[in-house]
Amino acid sequence: MLARLGAPELPIGTTTSGPRIALEHGPDGDGFVRAPSDHGLTLRGDGPRGLLYAVYDLLEALGCRWPAPGAERIPRYTRVLLPTHAIADRPALERRGLVIGHDHALARAEEWISWAARNRLNTIVVHTTIRAPAFGACRLSSWRARRRSLLPLIRARGMRLELGGHHLRDLLPRRLFRVEPELFRHDGARRTADHNLCVSSPRALAFARRTAAAFFQAYPEAEVYHLWPDDLRVGGWCRCPRCAALSPADQALTAINALAEALPERRRTARVAYLAYHDTEEPPAAVAPHPAVQLLFAPRLRSYAEGIGGPANAPVANRLRRCAAVFTRPGSPGPALFEYYLDGILFKSAPPPLAQTIAADLRAYHGMGASAVYALLTGDRPLCYASPNAYCFARLAWAPDSDPAEILLAYATARAPRAATDLALAYAELAGAWRPILERSATAEAPGETIRPRDPVATPPADVLDAILAPRRAAERRLDAMATGADALARGRAAWDAAMNAEPGLAPERSEWELGALLLGFLHARQKLYVLADREAAPPLLAEALAEAQAALDAMLAWAQEHVPPAARGEHLLFRAPFQLQLDHIADRHLLTPLARFGLRVRRAGDLARYAIGLDWR
């Protein structure tokens, strides 16, 4: 690398009498020291990985940058001058991880792994599923196909590997239900083969334990195994007489403790993660964790308009502290946090710029004694360009007290030195436009049990950012706050125009920014439509608002036609379908004749079938 900067080739040896860069490391750790000496520099890491970070830190001091996977900024000098000042650095958080959460990301894993190591992340989590189609996770078969080529890259960089996902139900084959239904959960009326197992059944736990042992043996490369319960907000637990007294958290921990017992004795440092998520965020009260179980807290139902320590997130932070009190033992690591800064499913295929929130989160998590933080990289399509949230997360996970505005500017400088100020401004304006969308009250109730409606037009799907059924006053306040977003987006587009004039190679990144702007335009138009419907506006006014929202949605679909590869388009359109159903819901209730309402349902059923045909069902 020094030769690429313009330095002469340096011989590698165990001794030398001339100028040199001495490389040393201890047994373990990520901290490092760079010290000038009479003969050059000494780089020393606490462990091999710390030495690697010392090398990358030296290269950064010489002007090298890696802002995103596949992107680098390597200067060229006529003479390379080594820095003359000493530094010592170490991370605030012990484990800093990237969660590869879709086959789209796994296909580019080489670039992501290299980028992660260069930006001082030390853990790769491969989030897997065995179900088809695979939403929000990599197929376990995809990891098997790729691990022979990817494991050497991970190990060469000294990185940790973690593996798994919502696999608890997979440990008890559904075919057993016909012969032993008592192994499966009771839904309050009868035994059912869906979702999680009956944790009061010794045979169910024994079967899951044996299957988990086979999983551990098949994937010995992982240091932490993730065998989580089903991905439900509520409702997947057993209600048989023996289980009914146990909370969802106690049922989940009972199952995870059984799996931890199956870890091989020779792998004393291996762990099984307990996922505190949705209805298991409340800490277990009747069951204590096995020593090999570690807490992974995933606060998906929160406000991303502010940090986890802010007023709107106080209930979530309180649950985290109470969970940590249950799982943290003397000598054990603090809680691990599973965050969503790169989640294209939660954020409707366009994660907002979150530098300020990430910084506030990581300062708070560090203050709570967290030992690890991970960012989920998933979505419904391949990215045109990686979000700057990735760079901000990596830098802030190492040093949470850093200024997020400075880190965003450093990203922009690495990306486009001649247009750094404009690029940083474009993201700042987009972040401001997003804030009213991301706000979530501390008193907001978590959505109830997921019910699959027979008529999705009458009951359209909604997620965290779909505040379409809020009380009128709250909906109107949100609409007023969203109105300022148009001006922010206009300023952002002007900044992008200036940046593109100076750095024409930014087109893929701008397309991602533009999708975020289009999404905000739609969310504003949808909010206006629902507020008018709640006010019982006259049909012509409602029809005009519906046409405006439909045009905004059509603009996003046109973007997809240009930027989403055909192989991924079915999944992307399926995740866009709730938006159309939400608009249809207003037309159905207020504007259409009975015959037109019937025709609308026929068309939407055809659309959903067409999207499903386009999915990969392997």
Joined tokens for residue 100 = 């590869």
Which residue among 377, 399, 418 closes a domain?
418
In this structure, is residue 263 part of a structural domain?
Answer: yes
Confidence at 447, pLDDT banded by 50, 70, 90: very low
In whole angstroms, give the CA distance from residue 569 to residue 243: 43
Of the pLDDT bands very low, low, confident and very high (cuts 50, 70, 90), residue 468 is confident
Neighbours of 549 (CB within 10 A): 24
**pLDDT at 12 (0 to 100):** 78
Q: What is the pLDDT of residue 342?
A: 98
Whole-number Å distance between alpha carbons of 291 and 94: 19
Q: Would you say residue 435 has pLDDT above 90?
A: yes
The per-residue pLDDT for range 205-219, each reduced to its tens digit, is 999 999 999 999 999
The pLDDT, as a whole number, for residue 449 is: 42
In a domain, 618, yes or no: no
Phi, psi angles (nearest 5°) of residue 383? -75, 140
Dump pLDDT digits (tens) for 7-36: 887 777 776 666 789 999 999 999 999 999
Element (H, E) at 342: strand 336-343
CATH classification of the domain holding 366: 3.20.20.80
Q: Residue 183 is part of which domain span?
A: 95-418
In a domain, 294, yes or no: yes
Task: For residues 25 and 99, state if they share a domain.
Answer: no
Shared domain for 575 and 607, answered yes or no, is yes
d(CA 423, CA 341): 20
Give the count of domains, the chain.
Answer: 3
CA–CA separation, 483 and 365 (whole Å): 33
Is residue 412 domain-shared with residue 338, that is, in the same domain?
yes
Q: Which of helix, strand or coil describes residue 87?
A: strand
Dig out the tokens for 101 from the structure.
């959460």
Domain boundary pick from 58, 89, 120: 89
Structure-block tokens of residue 111: 């670039």
- Average per-residue pLDDT for the chain: 94
In a domain, 198, yes or no: yes
Identify whether the C-beta of residue 266 lies closer than 8 Å to the C-beta of residue 219.
no
Q: How confident is the model at residue 260 (pLDDT cuts 50, 70, 90)?
A: very high
| pLDDT in the model for residue 452 | 56
User: Does one domain contain both 50 and 122?
Assistant: no
pLDDT band at 318 (very low <50, low <70, confident <90, very high): very high
CB atoms within 10 A of CB 154: 20
408: Cα separation from own chain's centroid: 19
On the question of pLDDT at 107 being above 70, the answer is: yes
Q: Which residues, other chains included, contact 239 with Cβ-Cβ below 8 Å and sequence gap of 6+?
A: 185, 186, 187, 188
State pLDDT tens for residues 370-397: 999 999 999 999 999 999 999 999 999 9
By percentage, how much of the chain surpasses pLDDT 90? 86
Does 463 lie in the same domain as 561? yes
pLDDT over 90 at 247, yes or no: yes
pLDDT at 444: 63
| 527-571: pLDDT as tens digits | 999 999 999 999 999 999 999 999 999 999 999 999 999 999 999
Q: Is residue 423 part of a domain?
A: no
Residue 167 lies in a domain: yes
Residues 313 and 201 occupy one common structural domain: yes
**354/404 Cα distance (integer angstroms):** 9
By percentage, how much of the chain surpasses pLDDT 70? 97
126: in domain: yes
Angle at the Cα of 21 (from 15 to 23), degrees rounded to 5?
75
From residue 266, alpha-carbon distances to 19, 217, 220 in Å are 46, 12, 11
Q: Is the pLDDT of residue 448 over 60?
A: no
Distance CA 308, CA 302 (A): 8
Is the Cα torsion angle 466, 469, 475, 479 positive or negative in sign? Answer: positive
pLDDT of residue 147: 96
Residue 69 is predicted with a pLDDT of 97
Q: Which helix (H) or strand (E) holds 566?
A: helix 566-590
Above 50 in pLDDT, residue 451? no
Contact present, 474 and 336 (Cβ < 8 Å)? no
Residue 524 and residue 375 share a domain: no
Are 113 and 207 part of one and the same domain? yes
- pLDDT > 90? residue 332: no
- The per-residue pLDDT for range 85-103, each reduced to its tens digit, is 999 999 999 999 999 999 9
**In this structure, are 68 and 107 located in the same domain?**
no
- The SS3 assignment for 41 reads strand
d(CA 590, CA 600): 14
Reported confidence tier of residue 442, pLDDT bands at 50, 70, 90: low
What mean pLDDT is predicted for residues 183-204?
96
- Residues 502 and 365 occupy one common structural domain: no
The pLDDT, as a whole number, for residue 235 is 84
Same domain, 53 and 199: no
**Residue 318 included in any domain:** yes
Q: How confident is the model at residue 38 (pLDDT cuts 50, 70, 90)?
A: confident
Computed from CA positions of residues 379, 382, 387, 390, in that sequence, does the dihedral angle turn out positive or negative? positive
| Same domain (yes/no): 393, 286 | yes
Domain boundary among 37, 61, 89: 89
